[in-house]
């Protein structure tokens, strides 16, 4: 993609201002890390966010079905509305990071870095509040629970996230996701599909039980299930283009109760990932046909149940370029990286991007002395994020908002 020039407020000194907040940013991040909460109800986390925003010129409202926080900052003059997001929830897993501020809640950990997302979004709210007399329009700060599988973004949309009183509707949305896969302080982004959809697959094969010494007297579902697993891999490689990949992984096979009993049924559980809704629906259709057909060939039956999860996260090309070029200006060209390939993980930020043109980028935070891609990564019980990357994230979010509000060449924004 060619270089795009953006007309905006002067961004000089923005990174230095973000660095000046680092003591407070780290303090908030570590407080959140010590007291992680999961799901849609995060009362302690919500309270910390509200306390951190106190004193800023924001209009704040909280959620009903979930402990969300939406804060609106009005600029000096009417103009566009831009949204910035930080998710707040942790994961149900023990922490073995060895950090002095490790989780004090048993079997709950901020292993995906959402504590840093909150701290960075608070930092962006502070920098933008200090500049409110210098821009036209409004900024919406979205503090979201329930990203880890609880559809928090969808709930926030249903509760009126985009319904901001007065002024123009939300015309752009930006988010960062921290990760140890990339060098610390880098911003990594691509246009188009960034993350995959995520659906849960369950296949139940039903046969007939028998004594294990006489399998011919029953109908063993286990070899049928194994054949379905192998057929799925052939389906993926032969029915779908390598240029629009899908992933189907069977992660569990549950069958049987004893070593000498052939069970009546076998159950498989796994995940389906796709980068477009077209491929996603095609996988659903073909999996059902495949499982039922293989089972029928053996005289058994198969029931396929697909529990839909998050849709693909697809970056608007102009918004992705805005993030990349903004990061290049404030962090240096070497720190703004255009990604070649998407990642097959998933994000409920996808629901926001279905409604508003926008983009997500990955903020590199590989700790010193470690190697990106080798260091423990997100969702590891040993993951450690480099806190020195957070000023880069704060400055990038702040600059992206300012750029979006002042970009006259983006007519649809």
- With cut-offs at 50, 70 and 90, classify the pLDDT of residue 5: very low
Residue 172 and residue 60 share a domain? yes
Average pLDDT over residues 2-21: 73
Separation of alpha carbons 335 and 312, rounded Å: 26
- With cut-offs at 50, 70 and 90, classify the pLDDT of residue 9: low
Residue 241 and residue 101 share a domain? no
- With cut-offs at 50, 70 and 90, classify the pLDDT of residue 111: very high
Residue 1 lies in a domain: no
Per residue, what are the HEC states of 151-204? CHHHHHHHCCCCCCCCCCCEEEEEEEEEECCCCCCCEEECCEEEECCCEEEEEE
Separation of alpha carbons 147 and 153, rounded Å: 7
* Element of type H or E holding 123: helix 114-130
Give the end of a domain, one of 266, 292, 307: 307
- For residue 100, the enclosing domain spans 14-194+311-405
- With cut-offs at 50, 70 and 90, classify the pLDDT of residue 165: confident
Residue 207 and residue 83 share a domain? no
The tens digit of pLDDT for each residue in 255-276 reads 999 999 999 999 999 999 999 9
- With cut-offs at 50, 70 and 90, classify the pLDDT of residue 407: confident
Residue 76 and residue 106 share a domain? yes
The tens digit of pLDDT for each residue in 285-344 reads 999 999 999 999 999 999 999 999 999 999 999 999 999 999 999 999 999 999 999 999
Structure tokens at 186: 């880098």
Supply the mean pLDDT for the chain.
Answer: 95
CATH number of the domain to which 250 belongs: 3.30.70.360
Residue 236 and residue 210 share a domain? yes
Percent of the chain topping pLDDT 90: 93
Catalytic annotation, residues: 310, 387
Contact call for residues 45 and 122 (beta carbons, < 8 A): no
Q: What is the pLDDT of residue 65?
A: 96
Q: What is the pLDDT of residue 12?
A: 81
Average pLDDT over residues 227-247: 95
Residue 167 lies in a domain: yes
Strand order in the sheet with 170-179: 58-62, 69-74, 136-144, 77-87, 170-179, 358-364, 187-189, 336-338
Residue 184 and residue 87 share a domain? yes
What are residue 140's DSSP bridge partners?
A: 72, 83
CATH number of the domain to which 112 belongs: 3.40.630.10
Residue 98 and residue 43 share a domain? yes
Angle of CA points 226, 231, 236, to nearest 5°:
135
Q: What is the pLDDT of residue 37?
A: 98
Residue 35 and residue 123 share a domain? yes
Contact call for residues 14 and 400 (beta carbons, < 8 A): no
Average pLDDT over residues 199-213: 98
The tens digit of pLDDT for each residue in 23-82 reads 999 999 999 999 999 999 999 999 999 999 999 999 999 999 999 999 999 999 999 999
- With cut-offs at 50, 70 and 90, classify the pLDDT of residue 410: low
Q: What is the pLDDT of residue 4?
A: 42
Separation of alpha carbons 273 and 275, rounded Å: 7
Q: Any idea how long the chain is?
A: 413
Beta strands in 334-401 (DSSP E): 336-338, 358-364
Residue 413 lies in a domain: no
Average pLDDT over residues 206-214: 97
Inform me whether the pLDDT recorded for 114 exceeds 80: yes
Q: What is the pLDDT of residue 167?
A: 76
- With cut-offs at 50, 70 and 90, classify the pLDDT of residue 8: very low
Residue 211 and residue 268 share a domain? yes
Residue 158 and residue 24 share a domain? yes
The tens digit of pLDDT for each residue in 369-396 reads 999 999 999 999 999 999 999 999 999 9
- In terms of Cβ atoms closer than 10 Å to its own Cβ (0-12, 13-18, 19+), residue 232 is buried
Residue 295: how many other CB atoms lie within 10 Å: 25
Q: What is the pLDDT of residue 1?
A: 38
Q: What is this structure's pTM? A: 0.93
Torsion of CA 273, 278, 284, 290, to 10 degrees: -110
* Number of structural domains in the chain: 2
Cα separations in angstroms, 263 against 41, 223, 255:
41, 11, 7
Torsional sign, CA 254, 96, 39, 123: negative
Give the end of a domain, one of 258, 273, 307: 307
Contact call for residues 4 and 325 (beta carbons, < 8 A): yes
- With cut-offs at 50, 70 and 90, classify the pLDDT of residue 409: low
Inform me whether the pLDDT recorded for 411 exceeds 70: no
Please list, in sequence order, all residues whose beta carbon lies within 8 angstroms of the beta carbon of residue 13, skipping any fewer than 6 positions away. Answer: none
Residue 84 lies in a domain: yes
Residue 177 and residue 28 share a domain? yes
The three-state secondary structure class of 336 is strand
Beta strand 187-189 with 336-338 is parallel
The three-state secondary structure class of 411 is coil
Give the end of a domain, one of 240, 274, 307: 307
Residue 411 lies in a domain: no
Residue 143 and residue 53 share a domain? yes
């Amino acid at each position: 993609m060619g270089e795009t020039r953006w007309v905006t407020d002067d961004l000089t000194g923005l990174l230095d201002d973000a660095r000046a907040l680092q003591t407070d940013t780290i303090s908030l991040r570590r407080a959140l890390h010590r007291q992680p909460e999961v799901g849609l109800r995060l009362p302690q986390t919500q309270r910390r966010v509200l306390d951190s925003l106190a004193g800023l010129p924001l209009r704040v409202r909280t959620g009903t079905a979930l402990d969300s926080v939406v804060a609106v900052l009005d600029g000096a003059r009417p103009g566009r509305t831009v949204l910035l997001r930080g998710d707040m929830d942790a994961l149900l897993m023990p922490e073995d990071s060895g950090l002095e501020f490790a989780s004090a809640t048993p079997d709950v950990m901020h292993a995906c870095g959402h504590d840093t997302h909150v701290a960075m979004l608070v930092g962006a709210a502070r920098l933008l509040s200090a500049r409110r007399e210098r821009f036209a329009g409004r900024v919406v700060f979205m503090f979201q629970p329930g990203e880890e599988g609880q559809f928090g973004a969808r709930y926030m949309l249903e509760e009126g996230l985009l319904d901001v009183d007065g002024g123009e509707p939300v015309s752009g949305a930006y988010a960062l996701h921290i990760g140890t896969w990339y060098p610390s302080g880098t911003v990594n982004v691509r246009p188009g599909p960034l993350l995959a959809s995520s659906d849960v697959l369950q296949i139940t094969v039903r046969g007939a039980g028998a004594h294990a010494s006489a399998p011919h007297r029953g109908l063993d579902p286990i070899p049928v299930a194994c054949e379905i697993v192998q057929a799925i891999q052939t389906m993926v490689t032969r029915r779908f283009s390598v240029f629009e990949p899908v992933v189907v992984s069977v992660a569990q096979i549950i069958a049987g109760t004893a070593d000498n009993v052939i069970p009546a049924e076998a159950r498989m559980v796994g995940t389906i990932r796709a980068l477009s809704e077209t491929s996603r629906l095609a996988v659903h259709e073909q999996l059902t046909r495949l499982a039922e057909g293989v089972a029928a060939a053996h005289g058994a039956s198969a029931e396929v149940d697909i529990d839909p999860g998050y849709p693909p996260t697809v970056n608007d090309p102009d918004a992705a370029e805005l993030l990349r070029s903004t990061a290049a200006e404030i962090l240096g060209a070497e720190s703004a990286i255009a990604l070649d390939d998407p990642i097959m993980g998933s994000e409920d930020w996808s629901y926001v991007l279905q409604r508003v043109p926008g983009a997500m980028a990955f903020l590199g935070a590989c700790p010193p002395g470690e190697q990106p891609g080798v260091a423990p990564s997100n969702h590891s019980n040993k993951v450690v994020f480099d806190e020195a990357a957070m000023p880069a994230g704060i400055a990038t979010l702040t600059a992206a908002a300012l750029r979006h509000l002042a970009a006259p060449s983006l007519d649809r924004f």
